[in-house]
């Protein structure tokens, strides 16, 4: 499993919106500039979230995007599943029932199911707020006079 640019940029975009949530609606240009990513690329990611309750949007010159909920309500796992689809290392780990004719005798199936469970549990245990808190702690530790 490898996370695509789409998944990584989506996560960075939502972290940016979480970090600047007290600034009101934020334009994609501002996010793109801060994150050093293409605004055009972010425009391709936004539709994934427009179909959900992740973001609020306002059109126009003063418009932009903001998180619909507090950062502690968004997990890295749900963000990546929205942009990447399944996070499982192999297809059969997500299937129920498993479509592979060898599944009953497959010695590796428990390995893939276990790995899938660990990946999903880990990513679902991290919220945007956790990321902001870790960043804040790092910033405090890097204080230089």
Q: For residue range 15-40, what is the model confidence (pLDDT) as tens digits?
A: 999 999 999 999 999 999 999 999 99
Does the domain at 5-141 match CATH 1.10.10.10? Answer given as: yes
First and final C-alpha spacing in the chain: 43
Cα–Cα separations (whole angstroms), residue 105 to 86, 100, 101, 102, 109: 24, 10, 9, 6, 9
Please report, for the chain, the start and end positions of each structural domain, with discontinuous segments joined by +. 5-141
Q: What is the pLDDT of residues 32-63, one digit of tens each?
A: 999 999 999 999 999 999 888 899 999 988 88
Report pTM: 0.86
């Amino acid at each position: 499993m490898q996370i695509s640019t789409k998944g990584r940029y989506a996560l960075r975009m939502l972290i940016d919106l979480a970090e600047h949530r007290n600034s009101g609606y934020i334009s994609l240009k501002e996010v793109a500039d801060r994150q050093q990513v293409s605004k055009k690329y972010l425009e391709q990611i936004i539709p994934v979230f427009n179909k959900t309750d992740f973001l609020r949007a306002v059109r126009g010159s003063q418009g932009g995007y903001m998180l619909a909920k507090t950062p502690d309500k968004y997990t890295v796992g749900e963000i990546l599943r929205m942009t990447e689809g399944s996070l499982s290392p192999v297809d059969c780990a997500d299937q129920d029932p498993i479509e592979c004719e060898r599944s009953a005798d497959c010695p590796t199936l428990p390995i893939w199911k276990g790995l899938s469970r660990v990946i999903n549990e880990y990513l679902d245990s991290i919220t945007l707020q956790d990321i902001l808190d870790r960043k804040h702690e790092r910033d405090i530790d890097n204080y230089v006079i």
